[in-house]
Amino acid sequence: MTRMQAGDLSGALEMVDEEAVWQEAETLPWSGQWRGPDGFARLEGAINVSAEMTVRDYAIVEAGEVVEMRLNLEFVSRKSGRRLPMEVVEHYTVREGKIHGANAFYKDTQAVNDLVKHG
């Protein structure tokens, strides 16, 4: 997370296994499965098309191969500049220091969709 906050996407991608799968909610514009480091980079790009996403703070809870990240994000509409604070919980599977998968759970996907669609 520190690498992502510092804008070091390439450093963050080094932690992603080639077979990793990110699962995003089907109701979001960037829904579906994103695979491997390239998929994660494309996911970040897809999110940032219509809104700038910033991590305000986070907490990490580790339990063996399962890691939970509790994020306080802020989305800013590229259309209107409107800001949307959003809580997101992500569950990661980590093996041998590499991310093998993640599921993201947004507090309010409808609010994100409204921001993306209407600004």
Domain spans of the chain? 2-118
* pLDDT at residue 85, as a whole number: 99
Q: Please report the pLDDT score of residue 3 as a whole number.
A: 43
**pLDDT (0 to 100) of residue 31:** 96
Average pLDDT per 10 consecutive residues for the chain, totaling 119 residues: 52 89 95 95 92 94 94 97 98 94 97 95
pLDDT given for residue 13 in this prediction: 85
pLDDT for position 9: 64
Specify whether domain 2-118 bears CATH 3.40.50.920. no
- CA atoms of 5 and 20, how far apart (whole Å): 21
Q: Using the CB atoms, write b or e for 48-85: b if 16+ within 10 Å.
A: eebbebeeeebeeeeeeeebebebebebebeeeeeebe
